[in-house]
Structure formats: C-alpha cells, structure tokens
C-alpha cells in the first residue's frame, strides 16, 4: 500500500507527520480530562507516557501499521491536536482529538476531510470508518459532517477507562466505495 503524505494541508489545517519532539506539546491534550474522557486509553499523568507513544510513531509509520499526524492550525505555529489513520486490508479507520481551546472552529472536520479525501483516492481502500462513544456528541457530529454514515451501535463493546471499567456502547460510522 502507498503511504500517505507526511504533510497534508487545506485552508484551515496542516497535518504534519508527528515526531518524538511533539510529545511535550501533546501532553497538554493527553493529560486533559476533557480531551481524554471518551478515549480507550487512560489519561496520561506523566509526560513519559506521551513520549512513550510518540517514540513508536516513526516505526509504526514506516511499517504501515499506523499513520500519525499532529494537527496545526493553518494560521498559527501551534499543535491543536492529533489524528491517526490505520489501513487494514481494504478498510481504513481513523481517530482524532483536539485541545479544547481549538474546539468549535471546524479544525477536526478540516483534518478528517484531508484523511477521508486521501483514503478515497486509494484504489485499494473500499471502506473508511471510525467509532466513538454513543454519548460523544461532538465527535458524532464531526463524523457525520465528514460524510460517514451512522451504521449502528455495538452494545457494551468498549471500555473507556477514564469513565468506567464497564464496557460502553460504541457508535460505528462508515463510508463505502459505492458511496464515494
Ligand atoms: C471530537 C472533537 C475533535 C470535535 O471538535 P470540534 O471542534 O467540535 O469539531 P469540528 O471540526 O467538527 O467543528 C465543529 C464546530 O466548529 C464550528 N465551525 C467554525 N468554523 C467552521 C468551519 N469553517 N467549518 C466547519 N465548522 C466550523 C461549527 O459550527 C461547530 O461548532 P459547534 O460545535 O458549536 O456546533 C473534539 O471535541 C475533541 O477533541 N474531543 C475530545 C477527543 C475525542 O472525543 N475525540 C474523538 C474520539 S472518537
């Protein structure tokens, strides 16, 4: 499979392949209650946890396991959040977060549009999808605006450790080649 570009950009955001040096800035997000509430991983309490994740990004990119970018607003030198894409066979899935100070500006939609646009142009990708907690209304709105359809709910499917140890309902969103 062709690797995606290290940089993807539009009027609102620039996605830049992340580097280990980004971890300290991203710790503001990975340690935030608001950002991590619905995540499938526990909130980071020490920057070394974020550094540990980022130290593996280069190898995962090179192997094609996961493509991870930081999201920079087009008009400022700041890291607003992150977005990651995984391709397994003919399916691409993605996930993302933004620091709360960057919510409500259309930056997540701008970032997902770049990822979805790239995936649509790949002849081997037939399905683009994402999942989120059924109560994550902001993410549900972003996925709908990104052109993905709500396909259903996986009941009690995902543990969100920052909320509870009981698995929670997960909404599945997808877009298939027949509808590109
Ligand atoms: C999910 C998340 C990324 C959504 O961020 P967001 O900023 O609400 O997302 P969007 O980019 O879709 O922006 C939509 C908002 O920007 C506004 N907006 C402003 N300018 C805009 C533009 N040019 N284009 C589109 N929307 C624009 C919209 O009106 C909308 O505002 P509203 O929420 O007040 O209705 C963010 O809430 C987040 O990081 N949450 C925590 C992490 C998380 O849950 N990630 C998802 C895991 S599945």
Percent of the chain residues past pLDDT 70, beyond the cut: 100
* CA 138 to centroid of ligand 1, rounded, Å: 6
On whether the CB atoms of residues 156 and 167 are closer than 8 A, the answer is: yes
Task: Summarize pLDDT for 103-112 with one digit per residue, the tens.
Answer: 999 999 999 9
Reported as a pLDDT band with limits 50, 70 and 90, residue 169 is: very high
The pLDDT value given to residue 58: 94
How close is the Cα of 104 to the center of ligand 1, in Å?
A: 5
Ligand 1 center from residue 1 Cα (angstroms) = 30
At residue 2, the pLDDT reads 85
Which residue among 138, 150, 172 has the greatest number of ligand 1 atoms within 8 angstroms of its CB, and so is best to mutate?
Answer: 138
Q: Would you state the CATH architecture of domain 7-179?
A: 3-Layer(aba) Sandwich (3.40)
- Report pLDDT digits (tens) over 17-71: 999 999 999 999 999 999 999 999 999 999 999 999 999 999 999 999 999 999 9
Mean predicted confidence (pLDDT) in 162-170? 98
pLDDT band per the 50, 70, 90 thresholds, residue 75: confident
CB 146 within 8 A of CB 138: no
Hey, what long-range contacts does 43-46 have (CB within 8 A, 24 or more apart)?
43/162
What is the spatial distance between Cα 19 and Cα 69, in angstroms, rounded to a whole number? 9
Mean pLDDT (whole number) for 2-23: 97
pLDDT digits (tens, 9 = 90+) for 123-157: 999 999 999 999 999 999 999 999 999 999 999 99
Closest to 88 in 3D by CA, of 143, 118, 127, 32 = 127
* Cβ(57)–Cβ(92) below 8 Å: no
Q: Ligand 1 atom closest to Cα of 97? A: 39
Question: Domain-by-domain residue ranges, the chain?
Answer: 7-179
How far apart CA 81 and CA 32 sit, in angstroms, is: 12
């Amino acid at each position: 499979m062709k690797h995606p570009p290290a940089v993807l950009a539009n009027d609102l955001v620039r996605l830049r392949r992340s580097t280990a040096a980004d971890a300290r800035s991203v710790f503001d997000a990975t340690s935030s209650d608001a950002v991590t509430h619905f995540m499938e991983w526990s909130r980071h309490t020490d920057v070394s946890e974020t550094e540990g994740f980022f130290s593996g990004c280069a190898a995962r990119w090179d192997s094609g396991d996961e493509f991870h970018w930081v999201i920079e607003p087009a008009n400022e030198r700041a890291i607003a959040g992150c977005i990651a894409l995984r391709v397994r066979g003919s399916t691409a899935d993605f996930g993302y977060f933004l620091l709360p100070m960057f919510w409500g500006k259309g930056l997540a939609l701008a970032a997902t549009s770049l990822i979805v646009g790239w995936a649509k142009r790949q002849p081997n990708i037939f399905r683009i999808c994402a999942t989120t907690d059924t109560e994550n209304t902001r993410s549900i709105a972003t996925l709908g605006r990104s052109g993905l359809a709500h396909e259903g709910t996986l009941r009690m499917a995902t543990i969100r450790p920052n909320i509870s140890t009981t698995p929670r309902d997960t909404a599945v969103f997808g877009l298939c080649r027949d509808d590109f």
